[in-house]
Amino acid sequence: MKKICATFLAFLLLFSVNFPSFAATSQLCEATTCFDDATGKNCGTAFQAEKVYREPMNAAIYSNADAFLLSIGTPKNVVDSLDNELKQTIWDTSLANGTTKTYAGMETKSFSVSPSGETEMIPNYISPADMTMQVVAFQESDYNGYTQYSIYSSFEWKKEVHIKDDAFAFSLPEGWEVTPGKKNLRIHVYDDLLHQWTVAMDISAPCEAEFTGYGFNGFGDECVVSALYKGTAYTYAYKKNPSVTNMIKVGYAHENSMGGIHFPGGISIAIGPLSISFSSSGGANITTSEDIFSF
């Protein structure tokens, strides 16, 4: 009996060493740029730690989100086409902010756009078969007399990847400004055991911030395992120029170094009006996807 127990304990130890588990907390954006909510501008460096939430989604919650979207004028074909976790994030955000929404528009893309504007495969771009992006927006109550929107930008990986050191960003045109304090990136991971998507983390502090948008990089240890991932970022933004176009640029950068060698913090983000650029440092190899969406 002692021999059997010793063998069993040795097996458990081997399993715990070779198979990483999801941690209860995740360190994000270590020694990266923070921002001042009052201005939307960068303000220095800070350490940001986020609590991890792993709450399973279910059909009843999806049904609540669908009913809410229909109640604010979202066409049924749009509701049916929206990603379930995106709809859940919209529902959660609406409950948290207590705002009245009116559907404004949406667009889905699963291809990359070249600098010339032509749809094509581009070297170092994420394959259209590997990722889908989606944007949906709602008109909110005015902000200081300006027309305000809530804008949700999402990505979904169609293959299993690690995204620990990846980056995601979005930016509006000149004439828009983000509303201070209202932004977040929620990441989901597919749980093979439960056969459902679960919330891996909420990242409330972007690593890059400008008047027209935000960037998030370094998603943390919750995303180190190769798996299926999706994420939804939201921001509230208002039109300082009433005639400015309703569009947003969304970009994703994947740290894709060869041989399983990863470079933490190897992706930097620069944001300008309707402009996003990613750059690597420390030898990281990256692939990207960047598109302009209308709403």
User: What is the rounded average pLDDT of the residues 6-33?
Assistant: 36
Q: Is the pLDDT of residue 169 over 80?
A: yes
Q: Specify which of 15-29, 230-244, 273-287 reaches the highest per-range mean pLDDT.
A: 230-244
Whether 230 contacts 133, CB under 8 Å: no
Q: What is the pLDDT of residue 283?
A: 67
- DSSP-derived secondary structure letter, 240: S
What are the residues facing 236 on neighbouring strands?
Answer: 150
Is residue 87, in this structure, part of any structural domain at all?
A: yes
Angle at 121 between CA 117 and CA 125, to 5 degrees: 95
Is residue 206, in this structure, part of any structural domain at all?
A: yes
Q: What is the pLDDT of residue 135?
A: 95
Is residue 122, in this structure, part of any structural domain at all?
A: yes
Q: What is the pLDDT of residue 61?
A: 61
Q: What is the pLDDT of residue 63?
A: 81
Is residue 245, in this structure, part of any structural domain at all?
A: yes
* CA-to-CA separations, 98 to 67, 90, 118, in angstroms, rounded: 16, 12, 41
Pick the residue with more confidence: 232 or 286?
Answer: 232
Question: Model pTM?
Answer: 0.76
State pLDDT tens for residues 214-223.
999 988 888 8
Is residue 33, in this structure, part of any structural domain at all?
A: yes
Is residue 16, in this structure, part of any structural domain at all?
A: no
Whether 150 contacts 138, CB under 8 Å: yes
124 — alpha (psi -120 to 50), left (phi > 0) or beta? left
- The chain-wide mean pLDDT, for the chain, equals 77
**265 falls in which pLDDT band (50, 70, 90)?**
low
**124 falls in which pLDDT band (50, 70, 90)?**
confident
Look up the domain containing 156 and give its range: 23-294
Q: Is 64 helix (H, G, I), strand (E, B) or coil?
A: helix
User: What is the rounded average pLDDT of the residues 166-174?
Assistant: 97
Please give the tally of structural domains in the chain: 1
Is residue 11, in this structure, part of any structural domain at all?
A: no
Is residue 290, in this structure, part of any structural domain at all?
A: yes
**105 falls in which pLDDT band (50, 70, 90)?**
very high
**261 falls in which pLDDT band (50, 70, 90)?**
low
Angle at 229 between CA 226 and CA 181, to 5 degrees: 130
